[in-house]
Structure 1
Amino acid sequence: MHSAPSVTYPVGRSRWAGRLALALWLAGAGAAALWLLQPGAAGWRQALALAAVLAAGAAALQAWRTAPQGELHWDGRQWLWSRRGGPQQPGLVTVHLDLQRCLLLRLQILDGRVRWLWLEPSFQPGRWNDLRRAVYSRASRQAPADLRDRQAAARP
């Protein structure tokens, strides 16, 4: 069995994830608006629902704007993450959602931080299949030794 080729893939704001968040927010806003339009429905509960919908929209927009940006690199043995202009940090990548044209990855960096990365082919179309091969390679599911040791020590 051959290992996946090394690949460096850019990470940025995913349009797909932004559209999904917008669609979910619009569905929630629509439901709140319909509830608000019911005869005799105006009250503190509806005001609270409206405030919650507005807060959720603001939180989703802020999360999309501050989405991690950098590069994810697979060298054939381990995953490395680097913010733009920053040092490379080893980590463990796991796939949480695969829609063929969009991947949601969980990156656990050696220092314990977790990043959620939405990746799509438009970031670098020529390397998309290489990235997909790397995230599903048997070796990519092996945590670096330091990360395995930390995870074992953290278990009760």
Structure 2
Amino acid sequence: MHGAPSVTYPVGRSPFAGRAAAVLAAAGFLACLAWAWQSPAGWRPVAGFAVAFACAGIALHAWWRSPVGELRWDGSGWMWEEGGRVDAGRPEVALDLQARLLVRWRAEEGAVRWLWLERASDVSHWEALRRAVYSRASTHVPAAGKPPAAEQ
């Protein structure tokens, strides 16, 4: 059996993740608006708007500071390069939307990053990346023993 081909894939700020965060923020604001419309005047709806605004700000900040770098598979292991720093580790697929992957990157030193990988970033290498993400790194496999004798 052959392993997945080597691949280098660019990772950047995901437009999909940004749109998803914006839709969720808008839904939160609309829920607060409906709540304020139906409830008597008071501090609770105002607090709801404040929480929705804070959550939207945190989501925008997280999206803006999304990791930007390259994910590399060399046939035996994974590397993440960001700003000249290279870390070994492994990706774990958290969500597969066919044209997008949400991946949890676990560096060997223990750091965790969330990466959105999108087909639009590099269409020509997308399938190779998917094969590599779902393949296992080659490891030493001990020789098989003799099969058990059939009972007679």
**Alignment TM-score, normalising by the size of structure 2:** 0.87
Write the distance in 2 (CA, Å) between the matches of 1:10 and 1:41.
51
Matches within 5 A, 1:13-24: 13-24=13-24
Runs of 4+ residues deviating >6 angstroms: none
Task: Return the offset for 1:42.
Answer: 2.2
Paired AA for residue 5 in structure 1: P
Task: Return the offset for 1:87.
Answer: 2.7
- State the partner residue of 2:52: 53
* Per-residue CA distance 1:68-118 (angstroms, 9 max, x = gap): 00000000111100103x132100110000000110000011221100000
- State the partner residue of 2:89: 91
Structure number with higher helix proportion: 1
Q: What is the aligned residue count? A: 139
Write the distance in 2 (CA, Å) between the matches of 1:25 and 1:117.
21
- State the partner residue of 1:103: 101
Would you say the 8 A contact 1:6–1:74 is kept in 2?
A: yes
- State the partner residue of 1:43: 42
Matches within 5 A, 1:75-90: 75-84=74-83, 86-90=84-88
Larger Rg: 2
- State the partner residue of 2:63: 64
- State the partner residue of 2:25: 25
Equivalent in 109, 112, 118 of residue 110 of structure 2: 112
**Alignment TM-score, normalising by the size of structure 1:** 0.85
Equivalent in 125, 131, 134 of residue 133 of structure 1: 131
Unaligned runs of 5+ in 2: 140-152
Write the distance in 2 (CA, Å) between the matches of 1:5 and 1:115.
24
Percent identical among aligned pairs is 51
Write the distance in 2 (CA, Å) between the matches of 1:41 and 1:99.
42
Write the distance in 2 (CA, Å) between the matches of 1:132 and 1:41.
53
Write the distance in 2 (CA, Å) between the matches of 1:87 and 1:62.
23
- State the partner residue of 2:72: 73
Unaligned runs of 5+ in 1: 143-156
Would you say the 8 A contact 1:35–1:41 is kept in 2?
A: no
